[in-house]
Structure 1
């Protein structure tokens, strides 16, 4: 059985584009989905990235997509951000949620704290 572990709202040029969700299985395995917001599909017509064409179906991955992992800092900045947020430096999803509101470029990611299951 899957439970939502953490979730982020993905914005493109300041507009809500969709939800990025991390699921934890009872076995300890993780999976990730990205699902476009319906209004974004209708109003924007622009995908967030080449590997995420507009669709009403969620994208499902066993690991966090490279599109999102590449938004996370590297090197000493990653170590500093992980320490400041009290996260493991290998926690790409956590680092993205903690620092994704101030990214270079059109994409930003902010934690979605409503309707979360612990």
Structure 2
């Protein structure tokens, strides 16, 4: 199971999102933070060196997910539990999302 994703802002590596021991962790890459004109991926995740932690998938990322029938069909297609928001995010947000953010799985 994939537990990390690389978050891109307009195609630029910006942050890492991971799920570890039931906790979601989001942290900006130091290289991105030092980039002139760097922008936060969301107003709810302002630029900072410290990581963000949550027991729920951050709402910004949860809002990238489909709902209803589309979500069910995606889960069936990729054999993902409908409650596994993180795995679904890593599957569907790799390209062509609405907006500037994409999330690509990190395989270790």
Aligned to 1:110: 104
TM-score, structure 2 length as denominator? 0.92
Q: What pairs with 1:33-52 in structure 2 (closer than 5 Å)?
A: 33-43=25-35, 44-52=37-45
Residues of 2 paired with 1:80 and 1:95: CA distance?
11
Aligned to 1:81: 74
Q: Secondary structure at the match of 2:71?
A: helix
Structural mapping, 1:1-118, within 5 Å: 6-24=3-21, 30-43=22-35, 44-102=37-95, 103-114=97-108
Separation in 1 of the partners of 2:32 and 2:68?
A: 34
- Distance in 1, matches of 2:23 and 2:94, equals 22
3-state SS of 1:90 partner? coil
Kindly report structure 1 stretches of 4+ aligned residues shifted beyond 4 Å.
none
Q: TM-score, normalised by structure 1?
A: 0.85
5+ residue gaps, structure 2: none
Rounded to whole Å, the distance in 1 between the matches of 2:40 and 2:72 is 31
Residue matched to 1:27: none
In the TM superposition, residue 42 of structure 1 has moved relative to its aligned partner by 1.0
- Structure scoring higher RCO (CA < 8 A, sep ≥ 6) equals 2
Q: Number of aligned residue pairs: give it.
A: 105
Q: Using the TM superposition, give the Cα deviation of residue 32 of structure 1 relative to its aligned residue in structure 2, in angstroms.
A: 0.6
Q: CA deviation at 1:45?
A: 2.4
The structure with more strand, counted as a fraction of residues:
1
Q: CA deviation at 1:64?
A: 0.8
